[in-house]
Structure 1
């Protein structure tokens, strides 16, 4: 199947009445597809994915189309959103410690590459912190430099261990023995109805 066919198939999954904040609907996607504006159609479908609980297949189709168009960050984002439908959504406001106060001297890459450890309140039998791993996606930016703050999305390696978190909880990022930053939970959503709790990493 070519890019147009994939985007058309994804468009057919969007429920009638779903619209973006700018009142873009699936009809607008079809207009762009008619004029061979594939990248714009893909971007709009990604935006429309925020307006409903899209199944993993929707995001898999968009991931495939983005790959065929050579849009790597878009492809990674669609993979990420598909994973969130299976394991749930965790959003947080992350503040990194300044360079010189932690191990990190360079920016965190924004597209889900980094898999740091987190103190999310889980404890070992002796009461010591038991750290958990989660990937980090920086929203609205290609990266996050030391000393900066930004909203992020977290994709846990073991999502069940993160289920106790609620908005307002504070968690701590570790890349070594010294804390690299802290985050305040903004949003926690469970997996969609077709979801699985196992994340392919």
Structure 2
């Protein structure tokens, strides 16, 4: 089956010595593949992908396998991680303003579908504020309710305009003319040299 081939191809890209926090390695993935436990193998490979700088091909194979298995969120996550490999990683702690202080009354969807504008400090030649767009992925949750906070990942529309950010920088989210939230940058990593 093609799913098995994709998971095997991704497994072969994991370097020896890479393990999860619970000491799962690529060898464990192969055991699950031998027993036709494709969903488990996919989950373990996604977890292993966080322990090293995986090339885009790793995430591309996992994205295809997740799609064939019908796991939409997992497919979207693998697509996101592949894009981060090519564009760079930006993580931040986002604080949304409470409902009533801004137009948002419903939770922010967590799987990278929202593309809000951000004030990241860029200015026009005349000194006016210039907003930049980035997709938003809420970590560890399906969505983020107004007034809540959570770690998020940002995938900029134009990554080069975000390269000046450093951990500790504060940025502001806009969906309308009124700020919808603020975020403190936690991590910034350039694109992978493997991309």
- Please tell me the TM-score bracket, short chain as reference: over 0.9
Shift of 1:39: 0.4
Shift of 1:194: 3.1
Within 1, Cα distance between the matches of 2:36 and 2:10? Answer: 16
Aligned equivalent of 1:87:
87
Aligned equivalent of 1:153:
153
Is it true that 1:27 corresponds to 2:27 in the alignment? yes
Aligned equivalent of 1:176:
176
Shift of 1:144: 0.3
Q: Which runs of 4 or more aligned residues in structure 1 lie more than 2 Å from their structure 2 counterparts after TM superposition?
A: none
Number of corresponding residues? 195
Shift of 1:41: 0.3
What SS does the corresponding residue of 1:9 show, helix, strand or coil?
Answer: helix
What SS does the corresponding residue of 2:30 show, helix, strand or coil?
Answer: helix
Q: TM-score, normalised by structure 2?
A: 0.99
In the alignment, structure 1 segments of 5+ residues that lack a partner are 196-201
What SS does the corresponding residue of 2:50 show, helix, strand or coil?
Answer: helix
Aligned equivalent of 1:114:
114
Shift of 1:5: 1.1
Shift of 1:27: 0.6
Q: Which whole-Å deviations, capped at 9, do the CAs of 1:68-105 have from their partners, x for residues lacking one?
A: 00000000000000000000000000000000001111
What SS does the corresponding residue of 2:103 show, helix, strand or coil?
Answer: coil
What SS does the corresponding residue of 1:164 show, helix, strand or coil?
Answer: coil
Question: What do you get for the CA RMSD once the two structures are aligned?
Answer: 0.7
